[in-house]
Each structure stands twice: as C-alpha cells, then as structure tokens.
Structure 1
C-alpha cells in the first residue's frame, strides 16, 4: 500500500518481490579488481518498471561507482508488500539496502531486524535535520536510530481528467467534499460506463485506505496509551461513514465498478488504463503510474483528499532506507555511502539535486512529483527551484493538491500492529462491497474486538 517537512508521520502498505536487475551492475574490470570490490545489493524498482527507469539507474550507478571505485552496485528488483515481506526478510532474500514504509519500522525494530545506524547518522550530521516526528519512526526504545527517512506523502485524490471531461465535469475544479466525490462518480459512471470511483480492498491496502477515509472524516482507528499500549477505536462514526459511502456507491449508485479485489498495484493498473475516474492513494503516486503502469500524463489530475470535522486530515506516510542487521561491517559502510548519495544528498545539496534530476530527466523519468518533505518545507521548496529546468511532471494538473495541501494537517498512521489490523479491515471492506445487506455496525463492533486482541498480544 506504495509511496518527504512539516508535521509528518508514519506509513502505507504494499511486496518484497526480489530478483536480480539485469544489466545494471558494472563489470568491475579484471578478476583481481572485481574480487577486491565490495558487492552491494540495492533495491531499485518494482517488477515491470519501464526500460527508461533502468537507464536512469544505470547512469546513477556509474556516477556513484566513479566516486566509490571499491563498491560494485548490484541493482535488485524490489516492491514492498505487507503479506510477503516478513517471509522475504526471514529468508534473507532482500537486498542489502532496501526501503520499508513507516508503519513497518516499529515492528522491525521490536524484532531486531534493522541495522543500527546511529553513529553513521550522527557522523553525516543528519540527526538534528529531520522532522522529529519522522525521526521517531526509526528510533528504537533504546534511543538508537535504525534507518534514514527518505520520502513522505499525504494521501490524496487522484483523478482522470479525460473521464471528467467526458462526464461534463471541469477537470480543473475537482470535488472538495465526499458528497461531491459521490456525485462526480455517478456522472462519470453514467457517461462512460467506467468506475466513477474505486478503492483498494486486499493485501492490507483495504485497511490502509479505510483508515485513510476515517482520518479524512475526523476519526481514528487506534489511540496510543501512556504505558505504550494501544486501544482500538475502529467502531466510530467516521469509519462507519466511510463504509456507508462505499456501500452507497456500489449498491445504490452503481458507480463503484465491478472490480472489488484491487490492491496498490492492480488499482494503479486499472487507473492507468482509463478504467477508474477517481481513487485515493499517496500523493507521490504519479511517478509509479507513469514508470510502471504506462499512464498518459495528459489525463492525470490530483487534488487534496476531502476532509471533514475538527480533526479531519490526510493520512500521511512515507518510507525509510534501511539495511539488514546481518550484513558485515564493510557492506554496512558501503550501504551507508549509497543511502547518503542516492537518497539523502539530493534533499540537501543543490549539486546533488541537479545531478539526480538531470539523470532522471535524460531518461524521461518523472521529476518534480509532489511529496512531503522529511526535512523542512523551506528546504523542500528551495530544492524545487534547484531542479526547475528538469521538472517534467504536469504540475499544473496537480495544482488543486499543491495549492491546498499546506492548509491540511496530516494524520499519522496507527503505530501498533499496523499491518495486522489493516489485514483485518480488508475483510470489513470486502464484505461491504460484496454483500448489499452487510451490517456495518456489527462489522465494526467485531473488528474493534478482534483488533484489540491483536493489540494486546
């Protein structure tokens, strides 16, 4: 369920599918020279990314290896997905350097499955630079730091401008309330036969997006207690309203569409194919839509998610660059160099930002996709001026988001047993979408009881 300044928080959900990336690793010279190099396996893109993405990575790989001739970068296909990640981690099949969502970091810390990088973070001077709320996501109970926050986002409403126009809607004036989302969805469905609105429902993403819809309506599915425990609050008016919204689109309006078994990858595929008018997901989704799913940039639009009530806000998330605690000291040192060069320097340094943007733009990769800063809003906005000549995303089509996101207050994802509770909520979403007479009150009451049992384990 993947997905950087101000008031950030924690997480999203999605697959650790791993395979060697063919053709992206330098040969390393003759046998003796190759043997003296440290091989570093690093995460690259999900399976199915376009060739241009690998071309950009190959350019960046060569740039890094020129600066670090003793390190041989080996790119590995990688996509995080909740249900399979633990198996990949336990089996040792992950790259040496990979990324995880904020939501998984605490569980991995508790299980001692991340490398301690406290000294390295201090030596690089980053410890005091991060938003403290974001840094907390990678800080263990021992006060040590176990990863580098690299990117954050807010959930937003993505929409198809072409389907808007076909339904007689103005794509520059997207909906601002949930009632309008429902109204627009029906118009799109009636005019085009496509799903006016759709939502993820499986592989933990149904729970993620139900939590997103709850937060947007001012509710919370979990509260933290002072003793470190957590209380499930799933059975609340906002979650009920979110489920009733799905019920009404599906069973009263007929605007939800027939596919109710979508997750992060398949909903993006459907959207890129022009089969969905609107859906909610992270604000950083444009890059993946174009790179991995073949979206036509001209049809894309994005706006802030509608919020209601005093505490309504977009659910935030992001990911962290981490390393396995089983790698040796040499590999760890090489991994820190890669993380600093590939992920961090472009957030802080103009020359690094320009070099990164140029490499991406030269391979027709997205530059300038809206994200939330992990450092500060001021530095993020300054970095956009550094890379202005290379920005190639249709930011005018995203102005409803970029003009309004700073007026919203992001909400953190639940911190405890996040993925387990998301999986539980998948079933609630699926029931509402498959059973017209589903008892939403009973579903929420049972889900709250079941979630509390998970939290108390």
Structure 2
C-alpha cells in the first residue's frame, strides 16, 4: 500500500434524527426467511427519490452477493444535542455513522462495537492514515469503527448572486476582508444575506472554531496526559466575532436569520437566500440530494487564512455499530460496511460500480473530499471513476487547486461537542445583541469551557 498522505482528523457537529423506512426488529435473524435483518443508516429525512433509487440498486447488488442478509434502510441524520438519547434508547440503526469528535466519548462510555479482529481479517487496518485510525482506537488499543470519509471546511458561494452583484464567480474572495466586502455587495444588489453562519445545535461553536483556526488561533490545547486547557479567549476568536458583528450590525449583510443549524443553513443556501457560508467540502452532495440545489449556481473555494499558524479545520466520520447487537448481526454489519463504505476507497471494480450506480440515478459523483487512506490512492480512485463524475468540478476549482496548500488542523479531542454547545450561546449573543461585550463573552466562555474540561 502506498504511504499515507496528510489527511484531516476532525469532526463536525451536524444533526441526529432517526426514522425507520420499514418496520423491522432490532437486529438478528428473520425466522420466516432465515435471513439476518440488518438495519443500516441511509439519508436524512427529505432526501430526493433518486437517492433512494440509487440505494435500492446498491441494496440489491449487496443482497445478491450476500443472500443470507436482508438490508433494511433507516433514515438517519446525526445531531449533537439528541444523539446520546437516541443511542441510549436503542433507536439507532445497527450500522450508523458518527463524526470523529463523538467517537472518543462513545469509546469512553463503552458504546461502540469492537471490530479489531474483523478489520484485521479484511486486511486493510494498516492502510489507514494513523492519525485517522486514532479516532477509532480505544485506550485498550482496540479498534471500534471504520473511518470512511474526511473533508476540509470550505467557503461555499452562490455564483448567481455573485453575478447579480457584479462579482466574478470564478474569482471568489481570498481574504476575510474581501468576504465582508463581497457580502455587502451581494446584499446591496439583491437583498439576500451576503454571508451567513450556523449558530445553534453545536454548529455555532463548530463554525466559530473553524473561523478561529483560519485566523491562526486555537480554542483548546490537548495535553499528552489527557487533560486540556481552554484557550477560547484569544485574538483570533475575537476576530471572528467582530467579523460577524460587523456583518450583522454595521453592513446589514448577515441577514435576519440568526438561528440556523446545519440543515437550515443548507436549505436557505439551496433556496438562493445566502451568498456565502462555511461548511464541509463534501456539502455539495447533500445540497443537491437533500435540499434541491441547482448545480449551476454552486461555487466552492478554500477558507481564507490569515495570522500566525493558520489552518483549515477538518471533519470526517466513521461507520460504527452498537455493542448491544448479537454476533450474527455484527458479522452482517461488517460485511455491509466493507462493501458499502470501504471497498470503493480501495478497489477499482467496487469504485466503478458505486460511481456508475450513483450516476445512473442522478446522484453526485466526485464531490471533493479528503482521503482517509492516502492522497495517492484517493487521486487514483478519481481516475477509476472519471467517466462517471458529474459534479461541476470547474466551479469547485478554487478549492480543489488550493486545498493541498493549506495546513490541516484536527478538532480538539476533549469535550468537543459540549464546548461547541457552550460557544453557540456566544455566537447567538453577538448576532442578537448589537451591544454585546465580546471581551466579556470570551472571558466567561473560557472559564465555563475549562470547568467542562476539568469535570
């Protein structure tokens, strides 16, 4: 296997609602058919019909190869504030995904299935970037999940709104000052929000951290002994909040909606109501599949960097199973994860079959991500599937051509989601109170975050 390249290790606070697409047992054999029923995560509620057509085709392909397994799709979308309740209540699918940031907490709580032997038997344990593999490695050295995807945060923008404001959509902003300038031009010309940002359900803290890292700051220092120091109160974080304050209260280019999370901001962007926002580079797939985005209006570039030691906060997720499922269901789950998630990263035939199936159903193929294996293998896989790539790569060129020059930064490892939730309040205060005392907010947030880290 080729040597691993640098990849991003982080996570992302997005969303967790779960609803079965078909009635089924909590896992195990179906006595009437002699098959193992396996409940697997599919898409968020609201995904288009074509997505399910593609999934149905893939389900059929898998079941033809594994006639003893009956796949049952379950609607699924991870959401930080409610995920723990879903997991504790046993309402999650047998196979689901979680962001890297949630994995360590789940490991500490004993809520993930040990898959060390299975991954070793499949023969690709050593193929993963060691930093990525750390996200699923417990204190006992065992592996508790399959890293399946990584990505960088990026700046998404609406090319149509750029043109309406007299801006060149092929020359997106390269500095935060330009982002602010472009945002005001868009609002002045169209009445739409020139720039918007997530603010609730842990996503406000997530994107505040993205902006901090891009400006050379860090919100937490993780120590080797497992302790952590909160460093929220720093000039870079203050710079992000001052930027948001200026957009909202000075320029009027932020827009009226200040209570957006991952799903809501995607919906607003797809509807043409937002000029620019930051989120993961893999967002194009969800925008088209789940929110009805017109591909012609989409543009993506790298996040502007400034200050000393700036970086790009990354994201990613892992495919996992609950330790409460039985051995038969676990074995079926491993087969599904290997077939549905992993082989298309490793094997040309599997990659081509996956890309062809998605393409024929009108699903996005070729959305920019970052490799969980090696950059070399990732770029080779793009050659394998080049005949089926259907995303507007030229509209993503500013990102694709520059992302490898940016320094990847992983998210903090301790109390990540809890700290994000705390920072949501800071972002909301700045966006709802013109006289918000940013210095006082940061000082209090750092104190509160340290208390969380010390608890």
Alignment partners' CA distance in 2, 1:7 and 1:151? 10
> 1:28 aligns to what?
none
Correspondence 1:165-314 to 2 at 5 A: 165-314=163-312
Q: TM-score, normalised by structure 2?
A: 0.97
1:21 to 2:59 alignment: no
Using the alignment, how far apart are the partners of 1:147 and 1:329 within structure 2? 16
- Which residue is 2:413 aligned to? 415
Quote the residue 1:443 is aligned against. Answer: 441
Q: How does 1:156-167 map to 2 (within 5 A)?
A: 156-167=154-165
- Quote the Cα distance in structure 2 between the aligned partners of 1:189 and 1:23: 47
Segments of 5+ residues of structure 2 without an aligned counterpart are none
1:96 corresponds to 2:94: yes
Q: How far apart, in 1, do the equivalents of 2:413 and 2:423 lie?
A: 15
Q: What is the CA–CA distance in structure 2 between the aligned matches of 1:409 and 1:34, rounded to whole Å?
A: 54
1:27 alignment counterpart: none
Question: What is residue 38 of structure 1 aligned with on the other side?
Answer: 36
What's the CA shift for 1:311?
Answer: 1.4
Shift of 1:32: 8.9
1:143-202 alpha-carbon deviations (Å, 9 max, x no partner) = 110000000000000000000000000000000000000000000000000000000000
2:329 is paired with a residue of what secondary structure? helix
After superposing on structure 2, the runs of 4+ consecutive aligned residues of structure 1 that deviate more than 2 Å are 31-35
CA RMSD of aligned residues (A): 1.5
3-state SS of paired residue (2:171): coil
Question: Do the aligned partners of 2:15 and 2:262 also contact (CA within 8 Å) in 1?
Answer: no
Q: In the TM superposition, what is the alpha-carbon distance from 1:16 to its structure 2 partner?
A: 2.2
1:308-333: CA deviations, max 9, x gaps? 12311111010000000000111000
1:216–1:307: 8 Å Cα contact kept in structure 2?
yes
In structure 1, the residue matched to 2:10 is 10
Bigger Cα displacement from structure 2, 339-348 vs 125-134: 125-134
Structure 1: gaps (5+ residues): 25-30
CA contact (8 A) 1:154 1:317 kept: yes
- For 1:157 and 1:183, the matched residues in 2 are separated by 15
Distance 1:314 1:156 in 2: 8
Aligned to 1:154: 152
Aligned to 1:315, the other structure's residue is in SS state strand
> Quick one: distance in 2 between partners of 1:7 and 1:335?
26
Q: In the alignment, which of 321, 324, 329 is matched to residue 322 of structure 2?
A: 324
* 8 Å CA contact retained: 2:193, 2:274: yes
Equivalent pairs counted in the alignment come to 449
- The 5-angstrom pairing of residues 83-122 of structure 1 reads 83-122=81-120
Specify the SS of the correspondent of 2:57: helix
Return closer, same or farther for 1:32/1:87 CA change in 2, 3 Å cut-off.
closer
Q: TM-score, normalized by length of structure 1?
A: 0.97
- C-alpha separation in 2, matches of 1:33 and 1:392: 43
For residues 304 and 200 of structure 1, what CA distance do their matches in structure 2 show? 18
CA distance in 2: counterparts of 1:296 and 1:32, whole angstroms: 42
User: Is contact 1:5-1:372 (8 Å) kept?
Assistant: no
Q: Secondary structure, in 3 states, of the residue corresponding to 1:393?
A: coil
Q: Is the CA contact (8 Å cut-off) linking 1:154 and 1:315 kept in structure 2? A: yes
Deviations 1:211-236 (A, max 9, x none): 00000001000001121111100000
Residue in structure 2 matched with residue 55 of structure 1 by the alignment: 53
Determine the C-alpha separation between the residues in 1 that align with 2:413 and 2:392.
34
Q: Is the 8 Å Cα contact of residues 195 and 276 (structure 2) preserved in structure 1?
A: yes
2:365 aligns to what?
Answer: 367
Alignment of 1:380-395 (within 5 A): 380-395=378-393
1:123 to 99, 118, 121: 121
| Equivalent-residue separation in structure 2 for 1:116 and 1:299 (angstroms) | 44
For the Cα contact (< 8 Å) 1:5–1:380, is it kept in 2?
no
> In 2, are the aligned partners of 1:161 and 1:299 still within 8 Å (CA)?
yes
Distance 2:292 2:190 in 1: 21
Contact 1:155 1:282 in 2 (8 A): yes
